[in-house]
Structure 1
Amino acid sequence: MLQKSTVLFAPNITKQCSILTGPGRDYNGLLDAVFCKLLGILRKVVEVMVNKAVIIAAGMGSRLRGYGADLPKPLVPLAGVPLLKRTILSAMRAGISEFVVVVGYRCQEIMHALAGDPQLSDVAIDWVQNKEWARGNGVSVLSAREYVDEPFILLMSDHLFDPEILVKLRRMPVGRDEAVLCVDTGLDGIFDMEDATKVMTQNHRVVKIGKELADFNAVDTGIFLCSPFLFGALEQSIAEGEGSLSGGIRVLAERGSMRTADIDGAFWLDVDTPEAHVHAEQELFRRLGKPTDGFVSRYFNRKISTRISRLLVHTPVTPNQLSIATMLLSFLSAWLVFKGSTSYLHLALGGLLFQFASIVDGCDGEIAKLKFMGSRLGEWVDTLADNMSYLVFFMAVLAGMYAYTGEAFYPLLGGVMVFLDVLGVLMIFLYMKLVGSGSIVSFNMAFSSDVPESERGWFHRFCMSLKFVSRRDFFAAFFCTLAVANSIAGMYWFLVIGSALLTAGIFGFGGQMLRARGALNVDEAKLGEKAD
């Protein structure tokens, strides 16, 4: 329901307020009285961690209803996930654990569809059926009153949003007679300004709100932090003939109780029309890139992988299945490279297929992000499948070089390098286990932060400058180029030199990284006891 945050002063405020404001307390001076008053104010707005969300999914949604199929609006899929489900999963990602979902139009279909969804099987959802949904969304919000007795997040089922908005909002202090509306002041980035609910704000308070406002400086995002006091404002608004949520917000604004919080450029979108639906999918796919993407991935691989994901997102294919499929593609490319020692066609096809596998390797993460299917197990499946792919492909290059030259020196030298690669990867796996991650990205990102500054000499700077070589997008593209150029020898020496540099960096600084995480710490007292 509601948990107090870890703010240190919160428990003390409650305790001191109960002492200073208790019956029979005599104040010995003005200072005590002022202090007590301040404590009372702080007690009223003490920071809380909101865990419950009310989601409105009751309207007909006539402009989007049936888009792509005869479905009620909350079940219209967006990138393979129904709108309402996407709202719930986004809120869960922000830490919300309890939900009150208000349904109305075609409510049984909506409830049945989500009740049988395995991704929501363990989610606490209270369903509220509002038979008067046609009177306005304010009436729908009011129908959730019996299920809410403390501050809550209020969301619309047809709005997309960055979960980070809720992460910040649910930690925001709110008074018992207040509500907070998240607004977007970046007016140039609003997709459909004509349909947006405009807001005039002043000193972080709502002054006016409505779709027909001519003078405004922000837009309503449909994301709120509310106290139960909102229900009283809605009752007053409905009694005055205004059944919309905006009517209740206007009542609070007139009392000076409607605060605003700027989302500071974070992503959100109201999916209310077919045009907005198309734009929403485009935005979701555009945002699939990661800050850790290498040059080749950013400017080439992603442009292809996202197009493949557009097709896969509407199928039951899972990210783990894609990881395994990518590994099998890499195995096939390895066999072709081995055969390429005597056939240029095989070598070129092997290189091209390895590059294609690198492109498809991005799809598992994209599908996981789009469909909220990411997991620690999935991270490890992807990491293990990737490294098995590299190992088999590298062994194929060594075997191909031996078949091409007939000299045992090449597979022996290459075998030593691959063996060192395996030891380095095992060290990386140990680090990943210590930090609780299944992604090798965690090691790459910590390569600088976990190495003490005193150890960051010229070699560390050299390794940092060559980190891009260890990225799959780069070395797969480079292997592909060499294969098309019919250079099995170039592939071999790139593998040997790259492996030498990689393992030198891992063994050179992996110890410091593990020590920073406590893996190699030695209890000096125990050593002293043994010495005695």
Structure 2
Amino acid sequence: MKAIIPVAGAGTKLRPHTYTQPKALIPLAGKTVLSIIIEQLKNAGINEFIFVVGYLGEKIQDYVKKEHPFLQSHFVHQNDRQGIGHALKLTRDLVKGDEIFVVLGDTITEYPIDEVLKSEYSMLGVKKVDDPRSFGVAEIDGDNIVRHVIEKPQIPKSNMALVGVYKIKESNLLFECLEANIMQGLKTHGEFSITDAIDCMIKKGAQFKAFKVESWFDCGKRETLLESNATLLKKFGGSIMSSQAYENTVIIQPVRIGKGCDIRNSIIGPNVTIGENTTIEASIIKNSIIGSFSNLFDIVLDYSIIGSDTGIRGETRTLNIGDNTDIDLG
């Protein structure tokens, strides 16, 4: 089995951070979104990965080679972003008819992965949502057999949203459906969708079962990214990658602080992730993500994301600032 992780999206909902950093590499609870996905699949026994990269793809490639040097990894470039279906179609020559496990690169889920991998069926991850109109939706019978899937329906007949995790046994049929949809120009909301291809497979006789995920962390928007950071900090627990105490500083767990940080006269936490080699002085920070190599002085932050290599002086409440920024709010 081969894992496919599409990470070619521009991450427009997380700008300005994604101008300089792929959203899959945004720090989250002391890790990155991509590292959490890779570790979950590696622990389940999947060793061959195909990454579909595009925007800032060289950063994804460098990260994977540095952090996972023994991973059997391939990189496919999607220069023209036309949706997840188009991204998957580019991997056909590498898949070679094998079973595939597709995980979207901005979503973290918790589920019984071993059971999913052992199932004799192709499998789709789902979770009940209040408003399914913003998601792919699965219509499921009493035996969890998926009868129909549709992308972002205006009048949903089900509230079971597709979470972005797919085990597909009949990969050749998937690629046939993808190629047929692309040749016909069959787009949904302006993109070639994996949902449309799966519905094509179902109509051609492929049988999918749904499995419910226990937790679903959406990391594609600022608000949900911060919520996911807080939840995962509580799950993984806080950690401080330094043996030295921070001068006149109160740490309110859960907090993850990278190595090489210098923090003085501050209150940090709860629910804060701080990257490596960051300096913080005379500040109060809670419910936030701070990048590496940043310098913060005399600042109050709540529900904020601060990019790497950023300097801030002054006082504020909520910020969303990208990398390589210097701001004086005094």
- TM-score, L = length of structure 1: 0.42
In structure 1, the residue matched to 2:265 is none
Aligned position for 2:253: 308
Q: Does 1:77 align with 2:27?
A: yes
For the pair 1:199 / 2:138, whether they are aligned, the reply is yes
| Conserved 8 A contact 2:149-2:195 | no
Give the AA of the match of 1:224.
Y
- AA partner of residue 253 (structure 2): I
- Look up the equivalent residue of 1:220 and give its one-letter code: L
Deviations 1:434-493 (A, max 9, x none): xxxxxxxxxxxxxxxxxxxxxxxxxxxxxxxxxxxxxxxxxxxxxxxxxxxxxxxxxxxx
Which residues of 2 match residues 371-382 of structure 1 at below 5 A? none
Aligned residue in 1 for 2:280: none
In structure 1, the partner of 2:294 is none
> Would the aligned equivalents of 1:199 and 1:213 in 2 still touch at CA under 8 Å?
no
Q: Which residue of 2 aligns with 1:270?
A: 218
Q: What does the per-residue CA deviation read over 1:333-371, in whole Å, with 9 as the maximum and x for residues that have no partner?
A: xxxxxxxxxxxxxxxxxxxxxxxxxxxxxxxxxx9xxxx
Is the contact made by 2:6 and 2:104 (CA closer than 8 Å) also made in structure 1? yes
2:107–2:217 Cα contact (<8 Å) kept: yes
Aligned residues: 238
Distance across 1 between alignment mates of 2:204 and 2:40: 32
Distance 2:150 2:59 in 1: 33
User: Structure 2 residue aligned with 1:208, among 149, 162, 168?
Assistant: 149
Return the letter of the residue paired with 1:201: I
Quote the Cα distance in structure 2 between the aligned partners of 1:277 and 1:316. 22
Which residue of structure 2 lines up, in the alignment, with residue 171 of structure 1?
A: 118
Q: Relative to structure 1, is the Cα distance of residues 146 and 306 closer, same or farther in structure 2, using a 3 angstrom cutoff?
A: farther
Q: Give 1:245 deviation, angstroms.
A: 1.4
Structure with a larger share of its residues in helix? 1
Counterpart Cα distance in 1 of 2:34 and 2:66: 14
| Matching of residue 95 in structure 1 with residue 95 in structure 2 | no
Does residue 230 of the first structure (1) align with residue 230 of the second (2)?
no
Q: Is the 8 A contact 1:198 1:213 kept in 2?
A: no
CA deviations on 1:217-259 (whole Å, 9 max, x unpaired) are 4110111111312111111111221212122122123234251
The 8 Å contact of residues 181 and 223 in structure 1, kept in 2 or not, is answered as yes
Contact 2:6/2:51 (CA < 8 Å) preserved in 1?
Answer: yes
Structure 2 distance, partners of 1:286, 1:306, is 15
SS in 2 for 1:170: helix
The 3-state SS of whatever aligns with 1:95 is: coil
Aligned to 1:187: 129
> Which one has the largest radius of gyration?
1
Q: Which amino acid aligns with 1:114?
A: V
Secondary structure in 2 matching 1:63 = helix
Deviations 1:66-100 (A, max 9, x none): 44883121221111222222211121122222111
Q: Measure, in 1, the Cα distance between the counterparts of 2:51 and 2:161.
A: 24
Which residue of the partner structure matches residue 318 of structure 2? none
When you count strand as a share of all residues, which structure comes out higher?
2
CA offsets 1:361-401 (integer angstroms, 9 cap, x no match): xxxxxx9xxxxxxxxxxxxxxxxxxxxxxxxxxxxxxxxxx
Query: CA separation in 2, counterparts of 1:286 and 1:206?
Result: 37
Q: Which amino acid letter does the alignment assign opposite residue 128 of structure 1?
A: V
Q: Counterparts of 1:480-519 in structure 2 under 5 Å? A: none
What's 1:37 paired with?
Answer: none
Q: TM-score, normalised to structure 2's length?
A: 0.65
Alignment of 1:356-505 (within 5 A): none
Which 4+ stretches in 1 moved above 6 angstroms?
none
Q: Distance in 2 between matches of 1:315 and 1:309?
A: 13
Distance 1:168 1:213 in 2: 33
**Paired residue for 1:505?**
none
Deviation at 1:268, TM superposition (A): 2.1
Kindly tell me: are residues 141 and 112 of structure 1, through their superposed partners in 2, closer, same or farther at Cα, counting changes over 3 Å?
same
* Secondary structure in structure 1 of the residue aligned to 2:178: helix
Q: What are the within-5 Å matches in structure 2 for residues 515-530 of structure 1?
A: none
Q: Hey, what's the Cα distance between the residues in 1 that align with 2:259 and 2:113?
A: 29
The 2-side partners of 1:212 and 1:130 are apart by 27
The alpha carbon displacement at 1:160 in A equals: 0.4
Q: CA deviation at 1:308?
A: 3.5
Contact 2:12–2:18 (CA under 8 A) maintained in structure 1: no
2-structure distance, mates of 1:81, 1:68: 17
What does residue range 283-322 of structure 1 map to in structure 2 within 5 Å? 283-288=231-236, 307-310=252-255, 313-316=256-259
> What residue identity is the alignment partner of 1:160?
I
Task: Tell me: CA distance 1:315–1:262, structure 2 relative to 1, closer, same or farther (3 Å).
Answer: same
Structure 2 distance, partners of 1:258, 1:270, is: 27
How far is 1:194 from its partner?
5.1
Amino acid of the residue matched to residue 62 of structure 2? H
- 2:163 is aligned with 1:221: yes
Superposition pairs of residues 118-137 of structure 1, within 5 angstroms:
120-132=68-80, 134-137=81-84
Distance, in Å, in 1 between the alignment partners of 2:21 and 2:236 is: 27
Q: Structure 1 residues 193 and 76, CA, compared in 2 at 3 Å: closer, same or farther?
A: farther
Q: Match of 2:125, as an amino acid?
A: C
Distance 1:262 1:90 in 2: 17
Partner deviation per Cα, 1:153-177 (whole Å, 9 max, x = no partner) = 1111111012x43221111113xxx
Structure 1 spans left out of the alignment, 5+ residues? 1-49, 290-304, 318-366, 368-532
